[in-house]
Amino acid sequence: MGEDRVKVRVVQGPMAGSEFTFGEHDTLIVGRDPKCPINLPKDPCVSRHHLILEVCPPEVRLRDLGSRN
């Protein structure tokens, strides 16, 4: 039995072509804030803390943080 891994690939926008590979549980915040692991500083449609990406291979969850954008 192989090790579970999840690969997240960005297909559009300023980070298009970026890939993130996860082999264990991890939680990342996506937003404009410079401290966000996935940072989109120049996107006016994204809030400072826009969503949470939670990975627990083989599952992935996106949770909207209720921003106005």
Q: What is the pLDDT along the chain (69 residues), one digit of tens a residue?
A: 457 899 999 898 878 899 999 999 999 999 999 999 888 888 888 999 999 999 999 999 999 999 887
pTM of the model: 0.78
For the chain, the straight-line distance linking the first and the last C-alpha, in angstroms and rounded, comes to: 42
**Pairing relationship of beta strands 26-31 and 38-39 according to DSSP bridges:** parallel
Structure tokens at 6: 């999840």
Reference 22, options 49, 54, 50; nearest CA is: 54
How many angstroms separate the CA atoms of 16 and 27, rounded? 20
Strand partners, 48: none
